[in-house]
Structure 1
Amino acid sequence: MKIHEEVGKLVLVSFIVSIAIVLLCWMFCDIIVINIIASLLAVYFQIFVTLFFRVPNRIVITNPNVVLSPGDGNVVAIEEVDAVEYFNDRRIRVSVFMTFFNIHINWYPISGIIKYVRYYPGEKLFAMYAKSSDKNEHSTIVIENKKGKEIMFRQIAGIIARRIICNAKEGDLCTQGAEVGLIKLGSRVDIFLPLDAKLLVQKGDLVRGQLTRIAEI
């Protein structure tokens, strides 16, 4: 299993801490039940951290007419909104909430040229809230495909997330399904689609980054 290079040290530290807790319990605590519980919790915690930051091995089928999900999670909202940033028009916003059990790597939803990249420090509101899209710490990326269609998506930090990693650079070419970055410890991604896009998901759907078709454009 491959661990994301950006968090390799974090996973190693969590492993050392887990081992230390187990050793201290068995060395200084005579209550076997407590030692067993502490050991199990340490093991579960380490498994959780490892799975959280794993890099999945997925086969991406690119399609210039389709927008793929930029992240794993649950579709929590689909609504028409005023996309003031960059477009200054109306767009369909599809919001995907990533829980603690989802991989937090993000991928490009379409292929094309990266037209716009911005990072905004912000608040730490619960990522399920609609206003977190604008208020929370986030990165915004706009991609234009070969047909001239532009898609905007955001990496949004949640109440626990401490850092957004965004490797997108204006002027670069990107490939659908390639990694754009990740959000550490809880987050959400929003995709802003043109009003004439044909939606392929609905609220409540579980989606997988690189694989699930969000819309046709």
Structure 2
Amino acid sequence: MKLHKESKGTIAVATIIFTIISAVSIYYLEMFSLLIIVPLLVIYCLVFWFFRVPNREILDHVESVIAPVDGKVVMIKEVEESEFLKEKAIQVSIFMSPLNVHICRFPVSGKVIYKKYHPGKYLVAWHEKSSTENERTTMAVESLTNHKVVFRQIAGYVARRIVFYCNEGDSAKAGHEFGFIKFGSRMDVFLPLDTEIICKIGDKTKGGIDVIAKMKN
């Protein structure tokens, strides 16, 4: 199993903690140490599972809006996107549990025209106000269909580290990685009002693969 580059520090710390606690448990508890080691081993394995990098074939897309993350669609509604678009848009929000792959991918192809990091609160990621009050990074891409698409990485109650690799002026390719969020969190995508939304609330998405909407060329 291939692991994401963001895993190095976390796995190193988890390994040290697991080794120390296991050694102390064996020394003091002997045969009863398994009561501690087994649950700890499960958690240790879940850390590796969280940072997995799935092997996915990413296709080229022009009009399609691709799911930027693995997760569950929790919101589809018309909102006022006040940070960059400053107009009404359709917001599609996808929630990621700690068991989902947490690689963040471009939803559309084009050019990165905006990026800004915002420190903030750590409300639970499914809270509606987390989109504007939590720690977050907002990005915008001028798509190949000449639309401005905004998407936002949002930290949650558990997720407190947002990583992003793109800069203004960079090329964006739908489905390809631009960042990572450690542990549970959310991704919002803001689309033009005339966009055809294909997904629905409750749908499970596979980042880089599933088409969640189509924009008019």
Is the TM-score greater than 0.5? yes
Deviating runs (4+, > 3 A) in structure 1? Answer: none
Q: 2:113 corresponds to which residue? A: 115
In structure 1, the residue matched to 2:66 is: 68
In 2, Cα distance between equivalents of 1:116 and 1:66:
21
CA distance in 2 between partners of 1:58 and 1:38 (Å)? 37
Aligned pair count reads: 215
Q: Distance in 1 between matches of 2:133 and 2:27?
A: 48
Matched AA of 2:137: S
Shift of residue 172, structure 1, vs aligned partner? 1.0
Equivalent residues of 2:112, 2:168 under 8 A apart: yes
Q: Percent identity?
A: 38
- 1:145-197 superposed Cα distances (whole Å, 9 cap, x missing partner): 22211211000000122211111200111211111111112210001011111
Q: Distance in 2 between matches of 1:176 and 1:77?
A: 21
* RMSD of equivalent CA atoms: 1.1
The separation in 2 between residues aligned to 1:147 and 1:110, in whole angstroms, is: 10
In 1, the alpha carbon distance for the partners of 2:26 and 2:160 equals: 33
Mark the CA change 1:77 to 1:20 in structure 2 (over 3 Å): closer, same or farther.
same
Q: Which amino acid aligns with 1:91?
A: A
CA deviation profile, 1:112-159 (whole Å, cap 9, x unmatched): 100100110001111111110000000011011222112110000001
Partner of 1:200: 198
Could you tell me which runs of 5 or more consecutive residues in structure 1 were left unpaired when the two chains were aligned.
none
Unpaired stretches in structure 2, ≥5 consecutive residues: none
145, 148, 157: which one aligns with 1:147: 145
| Residue 185 (structure 2) pairs with residue 187 (structure 1) | yes
Partner amino acid, structure 2, of 1:202 = K
Letter in 2 for 1:102: N
In structure 1, C-alpha distance between the alignment counterparts of 2:87 and 2:130, rounded to whole Å: 19
8 Å CA contact 2:63–2:145 kept in 1: the answer is no
Counterpart mapping for 1:1-217 below 5 A: 1-30=1-30, 32=31, 34-217=32-215
